[in-house]
């Protein structure tokens, strides 16, 4: 795929179309933000420090700036009133623009606040993590923690525009890069074996060549675009994006969040593949085709103990379950990803244990 730095993508949504621009530097991406109306910025404190120089002109022009630490505890319903209060005190109006600078946490908070202020005001986004750039920035969802439950509250409220600067990736913790790559592997696997093989073949270069990373960020968003444009509200086809997530969330919960999200998702895909293969669904050669790169992406975490009881207990609480059956996203005999109901019986439990105790340890 040929690509230039000024490339862009348009996404159709219930709230009108929005644009994703691909940039190299943070300064270029900041330059995309319209200055024709008052701007209020909600930004990640760490990103503010690391990219202070590039962001300075934008911050100087802003009517108000609200630094927030990217902590799950801050992405909660309890913290929303304080942000609303600060924005109100800063004189925010319906025709102003709200801008989020940061990863998924800042995205979720800003998206939610933009959706409720004045019954909805415009917002824009400069995603600073790979996960947000390659995955969460499109798709309209906000997810807010409430009553001690992660992502309990939310709605669908897309931004007006998004500018992706690959320069942000350079300052990320390596585990956050791998976490983002996990979601990129997921999106490509959903698109089919040819797409997965393409990103798997380029795997090493993702970490060393910015142009290759950008190519696959764009490809990931293109695949996701096709799905969210037909099922923005996640009623059917979009469900497949939960591939690796039921197992992944259960692994996160069972390990007390010792495994970063996208890395747990990578392990979750490998686990879904294993279970599917042992159920006689996914051909063994497909498991073997995908395992090496999935395994590399969770390398170092294969030894983290995952107590099978705690994992199954977390799996049984998944909000997608139907009755006592688990609702899982598994590859079928054609290597296509689909939603299946699986009873959490002894055989299922054995397959999970097999994976956790043995299969995931294999290089």
Residues that bind ligand NAD (CB under 6 A): 44, 46-47, 50, 70, 72, 75, 102-108, 128-129, 131-132, 136, 139, 141-143, 151, 168, 171-172, 176, 179
Of residues 72 and 229, the one with the C-beta less far from ligand NAD: 72
Minimum distance from residue 10 beta carbon to ligand NAD (Å) = 19
Encoding tokens for residue 169? 């990736």
Minimum distance from residue 66 beta carbon to ligand NAD (Å) = 15
Encoding tokens for residue 43? 């930004």
In sequence order, what are the residues at sequence separation of 6 or more whose Cβ sits closer than 8 angstroms to the Cβ of residue 240? 190, 227, 329, 337, 338, 339
- Report the alpha-carbon distance of residue 167 to residue 210 in Å, rounded: 9
Q: Give the residue closest to ligand NAD by C-beta.
A: 104
Minimum distance from residue 133 beta carbon to ligand NAD (Å) = 8
- Report the alpha-carbon distance of residue 19 to residue 12 in Å, rounded: 9
Of residues 176 and 215, the one with the C-beta less far from ligand NAD: 176
Minimum distance from residue 170 beta carbon to ligand NAD (Å) = 8
Of residues 128 and 195, the one with the C-beta less far from ligand NAD: 128
SS3 breakdown of the chain: % helix, strand, coil, rounded to 5? Answer: 50, 15, 30
Looking only at the bridges linking them, the beta strands covering 97-102 and 123-127 are parallel
Phi, psi (degrees; rounded to nearest 5) at 84: -60, -45
- Report the alpha-carbon distance of residue 27 to residue 237 in Å, rounded: 37
Torsion of CA 102, 105, 111, 113, to 10 degrees: -110
Of residues 171 and 239, the one with the C-beta less far from ligand NAD: 171
Of residues 45 and 64, the one with the C-beta less far from ligand NAD: 45
Q: Report CA-CA distances (Å) from 73 to 12, 87, 138, 175.
A: 32, 20, 23, 20
Residue 325 per-residue DSSP state: B
Of residues 244 and 286, the one with the C-beta less far from ligand NAD: 244
Q: Report CA-CA distances (Å) from 206 to 76, 181, 185, 212, 215.
A: 33, 8, 11, 6, 9
Residue 299 per-residue DSSP state: T
Minimum distance from residue 55 beta carbon to ligand NAD (Å) = 11
Of residues 107 and 163, the one with the C-beta less far from ligand NAD: 107
N- to C-terminal Cα separation, the chain: 31
Of residues 112 and 348, the one with the C-beta less far from ligand NAD: 112
């Amino acid at each position: 795929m040929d690509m230039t730095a000024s490339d862009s993508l348009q996404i159709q949504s219930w709230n009108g179309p929005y644009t994703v621009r691909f940039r190299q530097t943070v300064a270029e991406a900041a330059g995309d933000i319209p200055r024709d109306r008052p701007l209020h910025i909600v930004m990640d404190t760490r990103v503010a420090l690391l990219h202070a120089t590039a962001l300075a002109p934008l911050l100087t022009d802003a009517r108000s700036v609200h630094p927030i630490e990217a902590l799950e505890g801050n992405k909660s319903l309890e913290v929303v009133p304080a942000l609303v209060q600060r924005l109100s005190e800063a004189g925010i109006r319906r025709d102003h623009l709200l801008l989020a600078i940061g990863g998924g946490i800042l995205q979720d908070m800003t998206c939610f606040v933009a959706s409720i202020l004045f019954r909805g005001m415009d917002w824009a986004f400069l995603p600073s993590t790979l996960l947000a750039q390659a995955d969460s920035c499109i798709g309209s969802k906000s997810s807010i923690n409430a009553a001690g439950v992660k992502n309990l509250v939310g709605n669908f409220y897309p931004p007006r525009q998004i500018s992706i600067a690959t320069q942000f990736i350079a300052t990320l913790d390596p585990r956050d890069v791998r976490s983002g790559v996990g979601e990129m592997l997921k999106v490509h696997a959903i698109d089919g074996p040819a797409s997965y093989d393409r990103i798997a073949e380029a795997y090493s270069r993702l970490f060393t060549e910015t142009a290759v990373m950008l190519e696959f960020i764009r490809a990931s968003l293109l695949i996701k675009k096709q799905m969210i444009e037909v099922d923005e509200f996640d009623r059917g086809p979009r469900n497949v994006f939960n591939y690796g997530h039921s197992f992944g969330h259960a692994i996160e919960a069972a390990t007390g969040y010792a495994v970063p999200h996208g890395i747990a998702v990578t392990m979750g895909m490998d686990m879904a593949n294993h279970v599917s293969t042992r159920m006689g669904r996914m051909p063994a050669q497909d498991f073997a085709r995908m395992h090496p790169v999935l395994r590399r992406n969770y390398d170092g975490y294969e030894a983290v103990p995952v107590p099978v009881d705690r994992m199954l207990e977390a799996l049984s609480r998944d909000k997608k379950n139907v009755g006592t059956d688990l609702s899982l996203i598994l590859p079928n005999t054609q290597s296509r990803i689909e939603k299946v109901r699986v009873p959490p019986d002894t055989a299922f439990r054995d397959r999970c244990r097999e994976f956790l105790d043995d299969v995931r340890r294999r290089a």
